[in-house]
Amino acid sequence: MDGPARGAPTLVDPMTDAIQIAQLRKTFGDKTAVNDLSLAVPSGSLCGFIGPNGAGKTTTIRMIMSIIFPDSGSLSVLGRPSAVESKDRIGYLPEERGVYKKMRVGAFLTYMARLKGVDGAAAKRRSADWLEKVGLGREGKKRCDELSKGMQQKVQFIAAVIHEPDLLILDEVFSGLDPVNRRLMRSLIDEQHRAGRTIVFSTHAMYEAEQLCDRVFMIHQGVKVLDDTIGGIRARFDPRTIVAEPEEMRGVDPDSLRALPGVRSVEVGTSELTVRVDDRTPPYRVLAALAGAAAMRRVELKRVSLEDVFIGLVTDHDDAGALRQELRRTDEAEALQGAAS
């Protein structure tokens, strides 16, 4: 059984995990959409579920929502074996989302709230309050198709949270939003998070996840390639690249820099030097040495972005075998790290 071995970052605790997935598998015809996926979403966390288009994010989310059913594997949502039993405690914003075009905005939200178990009077009040909150207070009487796309997105978000769910699943929540509304959406998500709700949101835009999440799942071609906290990822993908910008390029001798202790290689660009640090030396030592070696305008440790991690993980390992190897390697590293601390 390779579940526990790979599941090292996956905490299996029904009391604290809002979602648990073990060895989930789903095929459509001869295409495997999700392959042997295991993960756990801790209660109260804000998790990013990232991967390129077609990675299997939406399929996984639909399985979590019991909209489609897995071929094999087990699943638990809010302590129940199926989301059907706890639908009213889950808020779901699907990727394929729309509104009843001819319905009035207020009526649509009230209807959705009522469908999720909110009683009539409260549903009406909450929909009015929410519309006010996102700046659509005057649009309540309008028909849904009179709203702009951005406004419709807000209405859909309200529809997902109006019943005050314990778990919020947002599929591609930022797509189609302009920068102003992105910021609004981020603050709304943050507010939900601070209210103690567990939030899972999927995106293919890595920087959104980086800014918001405390935990990230990365999935590629139906297989999980990364499952860690943001801090953990930063530690794991330990940056060993330094960018140095000298006052004057001509005054720098690359060979003398290469001779510095701990330097593996130096690349010379037009205005920048890219220095790689070997595995044994702490990067700060090289930083200090570089700063003293020439007149530098700027010397900094290059920060790893999720995107770099992701690209690094998925472009080199297009076949499953290589991916598994990669996973085993990172799992071992994790185990060693765990043993050390």
Partner 1 sequence: MMKTFLVARREFVTTVFTKGFLLGVLMTPVMIVMVVGAISLTQLLKGPTVTGNIAVIDQTPGGAVGPRVLERFSTERIEKERADRAAAVGKLAEEQAQKLGVAGPQTQAAGRFATAALDNELAKLKALSVTVLPPGTDVEEQKKLLGEVDVRGQRDVPGKGVGTIAVAIVPEGALSPGESGAYSRFELLTANRLDTEITSEIERRVGQAIVDARVAADPRFAAGGLGVQELRRLLDAPDAKVGAVTAGGGVKKSAGVFQFMLPMAFMLLLMMSVMTGGNYLLTTTIEEKSSRVMEVLLSAVSPLELMVGKILGQMCVGLVILVVYSGMGIASLFAFALQHQLDPMMLVYLVVFFLIAFTTIASMMAAVGSAVNELREAQSLMTPLMLLIMLPWLLWMPISRAPNSMFATILSFVPGVNPFVMMLRLSGSEPPPAWQPPVAILVGLVTVVVCAWGASKVFRVGVLMYGKPPNFRTLLRWIRMA
Is the Cα dihedral 202, 213, 168, 183 positive or negative? negative
Closest CA to 47 of 177, 175, 226: 226
Closest CA to 4 of 58, 46, 40, 54: 40
* For partner 1, the closer CB: 67 or 128: 67
150: tokens are 């951005």
Helices (H), the chain: 3-6, 57-64, 105-115, 120-133, 149-161, 179-194, 206-212, 230-236, 254-258, 283-293, 306-315, 320-340
* For partner 1, the closer CB: 10 or 198: 198
* For partner 1, the closer CB: 75 or 233: 75
Binding residues for partner 1, per CB under 8 A? 62, 65-68, 84, 87-88, 90-103, 111-112, 114-117, 156, 159-160
* For partner 1, the closer CB: 150 or 239: 150
Question: Shortest gap between Cβ of 117 and partner 1 (angstroms)?
Answer: 8
* For partner 1, the closer CB: 2 or 71: 71
326: tokens are 């990669």
Question: Shortest gap between Cβ of 206 and partner 1 (angstroms)?
Answer: 25
167: tokens are 């778990």
Q: Are strands 167-171 and 90-93 parallel, antiparallel or unpaired?
A: parallel
* For partner 1, the closer CB: 61 or 323: 61
Question: Shortest gap between Cβ of 247 and partner 1 (angstroms)?
Answer: 57
Question: Shortest gap between Cβ of 150 and partner 1 (angstroms)?
Answer: 16
Edge-to-edge strand ranges of the sheet holding 296-301:
263-268, 273-277, 241-246, 296-301
Question: Shortest gap between Cβ of 220 and partner 1 (angstroms)?
Answer: 23
> How many residues are listed for the chain in this entry?
341
Is the Cα dihedral 115, 98, 61, 47 positive or negative? negative
Question: Shortest gap between Cβ of 90 and partner 1 (angstroms)?
Answer: 7
* For partner 1, the closer CB: 12 or 103: 103
* Phi, psi for residue 55 in degrees, rounded to 5: -80, -20
* For partner 1, the closer CB: 188 or 244: 188
Question: Shortest gap between Cβ of 22 and partner 1 (angstroms)?
Answer: 23
Residue with tokens 């990067």: 283
The residue type at 196:
G
Q: CA-to-CA distance for 100 and 107, rounded, in angstroms?
A: 10
Question: Shortest gap between Cβ of 153 and partner 1 (angstroms)?
Answer: 12
